[in-house]
Structure 1
Amino acid sequence: MNDTAKTINYIETELIPAMVKRRVLTIADGEDDGALLDYVDVKALQPDGTFMLTVLFKAKVTLRSQKDGTKTREYHLAVKVTPPCSEEMYMSCQFDTLFENETIAYTEIIPTLGKAHLYPRYHYSHRKPREAVMVLGDFSVDGWKMAPVIVNLPLDHCLLAARELGRFHGECYALKEKNRSSFDSIIGKFKESRFGADIGEMSWMEVMKTGPKRAIKVLRESPFKDAVPEDYLQKLAKVMEDPWGVQKRSVIPKEPLAVICHGDYLRNNIAFKYADKMDPAKPTNVMMFDFQTLRYASPMIDFSVFIANSTGYDVREKHFETIFQAYHGELVRTLCSIIQTNPNDLPQYYSYDSFRREYARYILYGFAIASSFLMILHEPVEDTFAMENMAKEEIIEDTMKRGGPSLDKELAAMVYEMYELHEQYGIVLE
């Protein structure tokens, strides 16, 4: 029996029956109706090029009432489990922390915001030695779909995603403004989910160091080569010799703009609904999910990661301001609506100019993520963990070419945009 078959067997014969026995799954919400497990069928979800550290299964479950055999209820569930891996890899990926943070999001933050219906339904989670599990509702049965492309979302998708991020940040700012004690209690439970473990000389560190070198190299060969001074490129290369340090410093919360952040807001963790019968390809709603890298930091770590990893230069060149205005406008509208104030009465740090300057400060963070991660979105890796068995030279060679010319174009544009923004706001690389 292979690993997938073993996990399916575990879900069908242990996990789901235990959830029914403990009344996590019931015929009617909130009622102890003595439900019996009538049927369960589990299938592994194929990633279709979407990068996932965890392994996802879909489960169809039917319950029958013990008191009234005619009453039934059907559940469609998404089960996230940690993949089979060595203890060293399990610890370095910080799976325990990832699942703990996501549980906090679903059990404490989202209910506090009062918008649980805007997110996947949470049912259950547990963490054991070298095993973490989370069970959510399968939102695909309600018409939600992943975006139709792996990278470079179309403008209509970008605008919806930006507004949703603004709404989420606005609600979290409102909680911070209205109930600081509750807000502090929540963020005090966050665990460092990405930088808590030292990845040392692991293979991914080589990817993170090589990605920026590729970006600088292709910039020098691109149409932008005369627009970016050589001294800026040299400073960028120097700073990015320690990409891990750049990212760690960027997520340190700084007041007054620090807020609860999704932590990994990009195309992979966003679902869209298409409910316009006249235009089936037009997205009408958006949902964020996967809160495993939840953190308290600048809102621009979310926005910069989204822009760098989910939009193409062809969209940003013409529509960046429109996207940023959509984000900021929704944030301010949401915040003002909840705390019942006029936008003009908000502190200056909530202004558009303040947020644009904040983005200039944190665009390097988005670049640091994208320069190593975009290659996997452009050209997916079949087995991410197999990289640990590759020689250093093989990793460098793969990082320098994976994704091909289309990624080269995006990386070069990203360096150019970063330079322009740093010049505009007087940001010095150091």
Structure 2
Amino acid sequence: MSYDEDFQKWIKKVMSKIIESFGPNIDEAQYEITEISNVCMSTIHYACVKFKNRLTDQNEEHSIILKRPKQLEVWRQMMGSDLQFHNEISFYRMCARPDENFPRCFYVDEKPPMDSVIALENVSKRGYYPYTYKYNVPLEYTLAAMREIGRFHGRGYVMKELQKEKFFDIVGQFQGSKYDKFDEFKLFVNSQATRAVEYLRSHNHDAAFCDKMEALLSNAFDEVMNKMIKPLEPLSTICHGDFTLNNILFKREGDEQQHAMLIDFAACTYSTPVVDLSTYISLCCWHEVMKDKFFDVMRVYHDALKEYLLEAGIWNVDKYSYDVFLDDYKRGSLFGFVIASYFLPILMGYTSINEQQILEIGITEYCRKLKQKGGDEISKILADILLYLRDLGFLKHFL
């Protein structure tokens, strides 16, 4: 069977299941696939479904996004796509309710390694859109993102306090994270994490500091990523795990304020909020936030979290004070820095993940080339982040 025939057979089966999800009162249902695109882990198909609703005698139209795993074996091994599809399917099956601020999920089917599928509402029809740029984000977008992740973390705390058994059943479904299983990804992380230190050495920075940071960051996968991702009670909650602009949509509401929606829950994990907060801040808004507005941004995050917990009646100042979350950030601030070390050149457009190149030259050579992308511009940004974390006293845990 050809690829096209195989795809047509697959899409017919999936779309019939999606149409069933709209209920029994459906007539004259039809669909079309409008376009296809690729993202880091998934192949995305955009679809439009039209039908007549017998109950209302109205014609309806729904825009849908279908996510499938990429077919390349090396990418599946490096990024753990089986695991990540499982996590996102678990999230939509067990966590996301229709009345909450998530895309509607029409259908999921878990068939690793190649045939899993997630069918989601295309929320662009509700006015949500991605931010155009991926770095150095205007403050209003960052504040919207922080308010939403504060509510997301708060939602986990509420379930943990009021529905403990259900909460840990959900947590038990998450199959770890990409930070603890894959040798290729470990090599990828460690090879990039020392880039800032090498830049500082070349500019005659303090040798003792460089020596200590190089010793730590040359094994960043184990000493930073794996250690920081582990749960720490009582602060651990369900974290997004990949809290970047790629996974946040925005909408300006009637109050003229930006509002955010989280998408893509493939990296959901049970950990402390620093894994989300440090990832966003280091990757997306270094200059504006870390140098001028860091503590203001943390306050906005904490205010949103506190409001959510107060409404649910579980606010506890000893567990959830601002100082507790700031201490968590200090303890794990290097988590986001390490992610920035390998992802910033990609985010800023100096390179892209090239699966074919990885196959042709091997992961070691690919990592060597990636470390040079963006030149001194990227290296200096990373060095500035590292020095600023040191100046704030956030590296004491590591030094």
TM-score, normalization by structure 1: 0.83
Query: Over residues 208-232 of structure 1, what are the superposed CA-to-partner deviations in whole Å (9 max), with x where a residue is unaligned?
Result: 223222111223456xx75xx4322
The residue that corresponds to 2:80 in the other structure is 94
The residue that corresponds to 1:367 in the other structure is 337
Is this contact kept in 1: 2:34–2:46, CA < 8 A? yes
Aligned equivalents of 2:94 and 2:155: distance in 1? 14
Q: 1:56 aligns with which of 44, 51, 63?
A: 44
Is this contact kept in 2: 1:171–1:338, CA < 8 A? no
Paired letter, 1:254: L
Quote how far apart the aligned CAs of 1:299 are: 1.1
Going from structure 1 to structure 2, the CA distance change for 1:215 and 1:196 (only over 3 Å counts) comes to closer
The residue that corresponds to 1:287 in the other structure is 261
Paired letter, 1:142: R
Paired letter, 1:309: L
Is this contact kept in 2: 1:232–1:419, CA < 8 A? no
Q: 2:210 aligns with which of 233, 256, 262?
A: 233
Aligned residue for 1:381, secondary structure, equals: coil
Aligned residue for 2:182, secondary structure, equals: coil
Aligned equivalents of 1:396 and 1:34: distance in 2? 52
Going from structure 1 to structure 2, the CA distance change for 1:403 and 1:424 (only over 3 Å counts) comes to closer
Query: Over residues 249-293 of structure 1, what are the superposed CA-to-partner deviations in whole Å (9 max), with x where a residue is unaligned?
Result: 21111111111111111111001113469xxxx762110110011
The 5 Å alignment of 1:110-149 reads 110-111=96-97, 116-131=99-114, 132-149=116-133
Q: Does 1:41 align with 2:33?
A: yes
The residue that corresponds to 1:349 in the other structure is 319
Aligned equivalents of 2:157 and 2:361: distance in 1? 44
Aligned equivalents of 1:120 and 1:61: distance in 2? 16
Aligned residue for 2:218, secondary structure, equals: coil
Going from structure 1 to structure 2, the CA distance change for 1:2 and 1:92 (only over 3 Å counts) comes to farther
Is this contact kept in 1: 2:17–2:107, CA < 8 A? no
Paired letter, 1:209: N
Q: Does 1:411 align with 2:382?
A: yes
Quote how far apart the aligned CAs of 1:167 are: 1.1
The 5 Å alignment of 1:329-340 reads 329-339=303-313
Quote how far apart the aligned CAs of 1:184 are: 1.8
Paired letter, 2:12: T
Quote how far apart the aligned CAs of 1:365 are: 1.1
Aligned residue for 1:287, secondary structure, equals: strand
Is this contact kept in 1: 2:85–2:266, CA < 8 A? yes
Quote how far apart the aligned CAs of 1:138 are: 0.3
The residue that corresponds to 1:274 in the other structure is 252
Going from structure 1 to structure 2, the CA distance change for 1:309 and 1:85 (only over 3 Å counts) comes to same
Aligned equivalents of 1:420 and 1:296: distance in 2? 30
Query: Over residues 50-103 of structure 1, what are the superposed CA-to-partner deviations in whole Å (9 max), with x where a residue is unaligned?
Result: x521111211111235x68964321100111111212x6434433232122112
Aligned equivalents of 2:242 and 2:174: distance in 1? 15
The residue that corresponds to 2:95 in the other structure is 109
Quote how far apart the aligned CAs of 1:322 are: 1.0
The residue that corresponds to 2:72 in the other structure is 85
Aligned residue for 2:333, secondary structure, equals: helix
The 5 Å alignment of 1:317-332 reads 317-332=291-306
Paired letter, 2:123: F
Quote how far apart the aligned CAs of 1:239 are: 1.3
Going from structure 1 to structure 2, the CA distance change for 1:329 and 1:216 (only over 3 Å counts) comes to same
The residue that corresponds to 1:214 in the other structure is 195
Q: Does 1:309 align with 2:295?
A: no
Q: Does 1:182 align with 2:169?
A: no
TM-score, normalization by structure 2: 0.90
The 5 Å alignment of 1:61-76 reads 61-64=49-52, 71-76=58-63
Aligned residue for 2:358, secondary structure, equals: helix
Is this contact kept in 1: 2:28–2:52, CA < 8 A? yes
Give unpaired runs (5+ residues) of structure 2. Answer: none
Is this contact kept in 2: 1:8–1:42, CA < 8 A? no
Aligned equivalents of 1:385 and 1:304: distance in 2? 31
The residue that corresponds to 2:398 in the other structure is 428
Pairwise CA RMSD: 2.7
Aligned residue for 1:401, secondary structure, equals: coil
Aligned-pair identity (%): 25
Give unpaired runs (5+ residues) of structure 1. Answer: none
Going from structure 1 to structure 2, the CA distance change for 1:70 and 1:425 (only over 3 Å counts) comes to closer
Going from structure 1 to structure 2, the CA distance change for 1:7 and 1:335 (only over 3 Å counts) comes to farther
Aligned equivalents of 2:15 and 2:146: distance in 1? 36
Aligned equivalents of 1:425 and 1:193: distance in 2? 24
Paired letter, 1:367: F
Number of corresponding residues = 396
Aligned equivalents of 1:43 and 1:356: distance in 2? 44
Aligned residue for 1:271, secondary structure, equals: strand
Is this contact kept in 2: 1:11–1:42, CA < 8 A? no
Aligned residue for 1:118, secondary structure, equals: coil
Aligned residue for 1:324, secondary structure, equals: helix
Aligned equivalents of 2:391 and 2:371: distance in 1? 25
The residue that corresponds to 1:244 in the other structure is 221
Aligned equivalents of 2:355 and 2:334: distance in 1? 25
Is this contact kept in 2: 1:38–1:62, CA < 8 A? yes
Aligned residue for 1:164, secondary structure, equals: helix
The residue that corresponds to 2:24 in the other structure is 32
Is this contact kept in 2: 1:376–1:403, CA < 8 A? no
